[in-house]
Amino acid sequence: MDLAYCQDNECADQLAKEAITKGDAFFLSKPLSYLKSKIRSAALSIWQDNWDNGEISRRTHDIVPKVSNKAIGWNREELMFVTGHGPFPSYLQRFNLRTHDNCSCGEKGDPLHYATKCRFTLLAFPNSYGVT
């Protein structure tokens, strides 16, 4: 073990012992639960501000505009659709796994295209999209 590390550790131990045996006691004017709640609220507010004003994941922001510590409960397919991370030409091209990002119909192959515009998807699932 490094000598400097041991000396630093011993110094830290000594300071920790002094902190609990010397000095004046102080009392918080609010309960710890109140302080935790305020910190949590401030952190969520900062996170929301960053999410609202960020430059990436705008499509995901449109679908999930409010940040939360609670799980959304989406399945794998829903997550791939919302994030665009999946077997979509637009995603595969980003990682040079495809030479282009076009769908078989010629338009950009992203999740929104397959769900709303692609004639092949609409023909395969006509009732799901109001096509009869």
What digits encode the pLDDT tens for the residues 72-118? 888 999 889 888 899 999 999 999 999 999 999 999 999 989 888 88
Task: Supply the DSSP string of 30-59, one letter for each residue.
Answer: S-HHHHHHHHHHHHHHHHHHHHHH-SS-HH
Taking alpha carbons only, the member of 110, 114, 113, 116 closest to residue 130 is: 116
Contact between 109 and 98 under an 8 Å Cβ cutoff? The reply is no
Q: Write the CB contacts of 81 (distance below 8 Å, at least 6 apart in sequence).
A: 111, 115
Q: Identify the top-confidence range among 4-8, 43-47, 54-58, 66-70.
A: 43-47
Calpha distance 27→33 (Å, rounded):
14
Average pLDDT of the residues of the chain: 84
Contact between 61 and 70 under an 8 Å Cβ cutoff? The reply is no
Calpha distance 73→51 (Å, rounded):
20
